[in-house]
Amino acid sequence: MNAHAPGSLDSCSEGWIPDEVARLLARVTRPGRYTGGEFNLRLKPGASPRIVLSYPDVYEIGISNPGLQILYAHLNDATPAAAERAYCPWPDMAALMRAHAVPLWTLETMKPVAGCDLWGFTLPHELTFTNVLEMLDLAGVPFHAAERGEGHPIVLGGGPAVANPWPLAPFFDAFFIGEVEHRLDEIVKALAAPSRALRLQALLSVPGMWLPGVSERPAQRQVFMAFSSTAPVLRPVVPVLEAVHDRAIVEVMRGCTSGCRFCQAGMWYRPVRERPVDLAVEAAEQLLSETGCDEVSLLSLSSCDYSGVEEALTRIRALRPGVRVSLPSLRIDSAAESLERFAADQRGSVTLAPEAGTQELRDAINKGVDDAQFEEAVRATFAGGFTGLKLYFMIGLPGETDADVAGIARMAGTAARLAKDVARGRARLSVAVSSYVPKAHTPFQFESFAGASVLRHRQRLLREAMPRHVRISFHDVAASLVEATLARGGPGSDRLVEEAWRRGARFDGWSEHFRFALWEDAATATGIELGTADLRSDQTLPWESAVAAGVTRSFLSEERARGARGELTDDCRDGLCASCGVCGAGVEMDVLP
């Protein structure tokens, strides 16, 4: 029996959370959301400028966002700035903060967010917009940029939802459009200016920056062309609470040129850039040590398309015993082969996304998957011993008919039959159906939102036609209606967001918190009709006046026309350039030889 040098016992009375915060923590669910204390947390006392990074959702969601991890690591490790974090307090905490007049604090220093120099938000989607206002209010920062003065932080927005910044424009001092890694140093330098006005002026000169009411031209979306030669985040913050994802993430590829016509990310993150396999494997090795995870996820919009996937998979598996490699998405046209390769690493269930129920509609959205490929993928799933299969579809796509919806039920029937024949009833089958929302900078940006009555009718059709024993879930039509309104909202749509927040809208992406009546009342009060977008293809679209996304209007229009004709457009990785407009002026595809 041996014991090993304990040294002196640490005092428990050191490092107490400030009393005013501790009083609140004692009365909320999951208080660990608000205290930090994670692995790899950075503290830079006295560093300047002080930047706060936020994701407008609850901690467990926000901590899993890879984008925020990139910013946090780069700012803290490669610039003089100190980056801290704040996520959106859950309603129980928000109520206590207001009751006790305790302003929003950061996880790193427990100091008020409002005292920082720059407050950056990663904006993931429209249903988080009211949470931005909630956080500004809880921090005591004036809602409107015009009301802020010396002593208030500069509020900066970024992330995929700034593809159309108008619904949030008055609440932000500036938006950064695109990928920011290579512009962070310039942003930090701009914050050194001696006054708020001069700092904003300096930010205006950073490429990709759009200042509402100030910028005279749309901001050019920035592309991080050093992606391939730069290591991914090697020392991410690892939560000590259970989060939505618990795995080491290696971003192996950025961009996707499959060209699905509904997909905003596919248009937004062009062109494709791949990291060398050596870099990915070295990163995986370090991440396994830094995170303590036993699973590595090869992250991208379509990891099966990563040129080095096979080699990376083999080498990462060999790094140490028990390491598993997962891919966040599988392509149906190559799923059977992928499932065979990854079977040993995948846990539980597989998700396949045919998106639409008939060949005609799949061709119209440029999702060139045929019935035989689908059947082969499903068969491979069940033959591989997976315990569940989830099929993901959308309804409300442009040109969709009731027959297309019936096709979804037919495909589910095929899968159910294979579950019985191949898996002998041992596998679960579920179908998730969301409502399509047209987004800015996509070929379908001119299309109408299907509308609540059509979507509800098709949900009913589908529920009736769906084989028994297949679990089906639908996205809330009312939430899609709000999302559709904001996704293509123009100047003035911010009034809807603010009015909904004032009436109590929060956490709209959470079904248990989404209250449609608040949005209906807000729409009535502001005179904004939900679900509509007053767009004409012969006019400048609202987001085009703020954002130059790279993909040209002519390309998007041509793609829309091809979709209407049911014509497929090839992936430019296969050699045929579709002239989307992204490449040129130092921006080009960068894939492995």
Partner 1 sequence: MTWWLLTFSRAAAASYLSHLDTARAMQRTFARAGVPIALSQGMRPKPRLSLPLPLPVGASGCEELAVVEVPDDLPDPAAALRELRAAAPPGLRPLAIIVVGDQHPRPRVLEARYACVLEGDAGAVRAAVERYATEVSVVRERVSPKGRRTLDLKEYVVHAAAEPVPGGTRLSFAIRPRDDGAARPQEFIDLIAGWAEVEPVMRRLERRRVTWRDLPPGPSPGAGRSMSS
Site residues, partner 1 (CB under 8 A)? 1-17, 19, 22-23, 25-27, 30-32, 34-39, 41, 107, 238, 240-242, 289-294
Query: What is the closest distance, in whole angstroms, from the C-beta atom of residue 233 to partner 1 in the complex?
Result: 16
378 neighbors 401 (Cβ within 8 angstroms) = no
C-beta closer to partner 1: residue 289 or 314: 289
C-beta closer to partner 1: residue 111 or 502: 111
Dihedral sign, Cα of residue 452, residue 455, residue 461, residue 462 = negative
C-beta closer to partner 1: residue 16 or 585: 16
**Radius of gyration from C-alpha coordinates of the chain:** 24
222 neighbors 180 (Cβ within 8 angstroms) = yes
Query: What is the closest distance, in whole angstroms, from the C-beta atom of residue 75 to partner 1 in the complex?
Result: 19
C-beta closer to partner 1: residue 2 or 205: 2
Q: What is the rounded distance in angstroms from the CA atom of residue 227 to the CA atom of residue 245?
A: 23
229 neighbors 49 (Cβ within 8 angstroms) = no
C-beta closer to partner 1: residue 34 or 172: 34
C-beta closer to partner 1: residue 102 or 454: 102
| Closest-CA residue to 568 (of 363, 362, 358) | 363
Going by DSSP bridges, is the β-strand pair 273-274/253-254 parallel, antiparallel, or unpaired?
Answer: antiparallel
Query: What is the closest distance, in whole angstroms, from the C-beta atom of residue 83 to partner 1 in the complex?
Result: 16
281 neighbors 323 (Cβ within 8 angstroms) = no
C-beta closer to partner 1: residue 34 or 543: 34
C-beta closer to partner 1: residue 53 or 293: 293
39 neighbors 246 (Cβ within 8 angstroms) = no
Query: What is the closest distance, in whole angstroms, from the C-beta atom of residue 318 to partner 1 in the complex?
Result: 17
| Closest-CA residue to 357 (of 420, 401, 417) | 401
Distances in Å between the Cα of 363 and the Cα atoms of 26, 260, 262, 398, 457 are: 55, 9, 12, 12, 24
Query: What is the closest distance, in whole angstroms, from the C-beta atom of residue 2 to partner 1 in the complex?
Result: 5
Burial classification of residue 387, based on how many CB atoms lie within 10 Å of its CB (0-12 exposed, 13-18 middle, 19 or more buried): middle
C-beta closer to partner 1: residue 257 or 291: 291
Q: Is 176 helix (H, G, I), strand (E, B) or coil?
A: strand
472 neighbors 431 (Cβ within 8 angstroms) = yes
83 neighbors 53 (Cβ within 8 angstroms) = yes
User: What's the token pair of residue 555?
Assistant: 């390309």
Query: What is the closest distance, in whole angstroms, from the C-beta atom of residue 39 to partner 1 in the complex?
Result: 5
Query: What is the closest distance, in whole angstroms, from the C-beta atom of residue 98 to partner 1 in the complex?
Result: 17
C-beta closer to partner 1: residue 1 or 101: 1
User: What's the token pair of residue 553?
Assistant: 């209007």
Query: What is the closest distance, in whole angstroms, from the C-beta atom of residue 14 to partner 1 in the complex?
Result: 6
Amino acid at 344: A
Going by DSSP bridges, is the β-strand pair 174-176/209-210 parallel, antiparallel, or unpaired?
Answer: antiparallel
Phi/psi of residue 372, nearest 5 degrees: -65, -40
Phi/psi of residue 140, nearest 5 degrees: 80, 25
Query: What is the closest distance, in whole angstroms, from the C-beta atom of residue 484 to partner 1 in the complex?
Result: 38
Query: What is the closest distance, in whole angstroms, from the C-beta atom of residue 371 to partner 1 in the complex?
Result: 36
C-beta closer to partner 1: residue 25 or 591: 25
Amino acid at 31: P
Q: What is the rounded distance in angstroms from the CA atom of residue 301 to the CA atom of residue 181?
A: 18
Query: What is the closest distance, in whole angstroms, from the C-beta atom of residue 93 to partner 1 in the complex?
Result: 12
Q: How far apart are the first and last CA of the chain?
A: 58
